[in-house]
A = this chain, B = another copy of it.
């Protein structure tokens, strides 16, 4: 017997929040929406999971897949076939021309946080038969999207009742700092960060080489520094860590957000994290530390570590989707 499969709708979403963003990135985005198998045959309302993609990707990346790398719709099909409540899955798009916005508002990249919270969520609640309440709304993601999920859940407790993060960017000491040095080498070879980024934009094949600059646009934007509007947390020439700028990053590190957002965290019905124990970005250390910090303030949660690395871990997504589907229903 064949598995029942959901239906995919590609929403063409016009954002006001992203209009006139300084990067010149599009304010119209394609938002894939997964409607569960029975959606078209019922009048039921459904819980919704918002999925946040990783750095360098677009929302459409979530519907990409192959036999070896299951797409998100395919993961949801499996979760539902396994008996979990039918749930809508919305894939937000947070792409920028340098790779992503970490789902935060920033004068350098645009108001990606408002765009998710104030625009996409209400739109989905209007457009589809959702249960329009935080208790039935979750946020989930991988890598930068795992970061985004945690950050949004902590900063917007009225929007979400559950959160999950796969291999998320947690504890910036571990996941970002080790990358500063080769980035600075590249910037020095390019004769400065502005020239480096100018050149990046001309590449026929772009990759994550501008990662640290892109993150700086999110964590330490500077509206007074055209043309890219950010402060690096490190001196370009000497690599000296600049404590003021780094403090701005740290304030947005999930590990250090636990204290200020303890109430929000306590109010979440589901907090699920996982990470591979060979994560190239060392996200397993951050996940362990985040888990410890939650434990210290008595917040119930689940952290699973498995034997794998950071890449193509789509087979893990069923773990978070099932848990969220079950508790948000």
CB-nearest residue of chain B to A311: B205
Report if A3 contacts B (CB, 8 A).
no
CB-nearest residue of chain B to A307: B204
Asked if A239 meets B68 with Cβ closer than 8 Å, knowing A174-B181, A181-B174, A282-B181, the reply is no
**CB within 8 Å of B: which A46-93 residues:** 56-58, 60-61, 64-68
- A288 B66 Cβ-Cβ under 8 A: no
Cα separation A173 to B233 with both chains bound (whole Å): 13
Report if A177 contacts B (CB, 8 A).
yes
- A289 B239 Cβ-Cβ under 8 A: yes
- B171 A239 Cβ-Cβ under 8 A: yes
- A288 B239 Cβ-Cβ under 8 A: yes
- A282 B239 Cβ-Cβ under 8 A: yes
CB neighbours of A277 from chain B (8 A): 185, 188
Interface string of A150-166 (1 = CB under 8 A from B): 00000000000000000
CB neighbours of A298 from chain B (8 A): none
**CB within 8 Å of B: which A171-203 residues:** 171, 173-174, 177-178, 181, 184-185, 188
Query: A178 contacts which of B178, B292, B315 (Cβ < 8 Å)?
Result: B178
Whole-angstrom distance between the Cβ of A14 and the nearest chain B Cβ: 14
Count A interface residues, CB 8 Å: 43
Report if A263 contacts B (CB, 8 A).
no
- B66 A315 Cβ-Cβ under 8 A: no
Report if A219 contacts B (CB, 8 A).
no
**Which of A171, A177, A181, A312 is most buried by chain B, counting CB atoms within 10 A of its CB?**
A181
- B173 A241 Cβ-Cβ under 8 A: yes
Cα separation A68 to B98 with both chains bound (whole Å): 10
Report if A16 contacts B (CB, 8 A).
no
Whole-angstrom distance between the Cβ of A95 and the nearest chain B Cβ: 5
CB neighbours of A173 from chain B (8 A): 177, 239, 241
Interface string of A237-278 (1 = CB under 8 A from B): 111110000000000000000000000000000000000011
| 13 CB-based A-B contacts, threshold 8 Å | A56-B68, A58-B66, A60-B64, A61-B66, A68-B205, A171-B238, A173-B241, A178-B181, A181-B282, A184-B285, A185-B277, A207-B312, A238-B288
Q: List 3 tightest A-B contacts by C-beta distance, closest first.
A: A239-B285, A64-B64, A238-B289
Report A's interface with B, CB cutoff 8 A.
Answer: 56-58, 60-61, 64-68, 95, 97, 171, 173-174, 177-178, 181, 184-185, 188, 204-207, 235, 237-241, 277-278, 282, 285-286, 288-289, 292, 308, 312-313, 315
Known A68-B206, A178-B181, A205-B315; 17 more pairs at CB < 8 Å: A56-B66, A58-B66, A60-B64, A64-B64, A64-B65, A66-B95, A67-B95, A67-B97, A171-B238, A173-B177, A181-B282, A204-B315, A238-B289, A238-B292, A239-B286, A239-B288, A239-B289
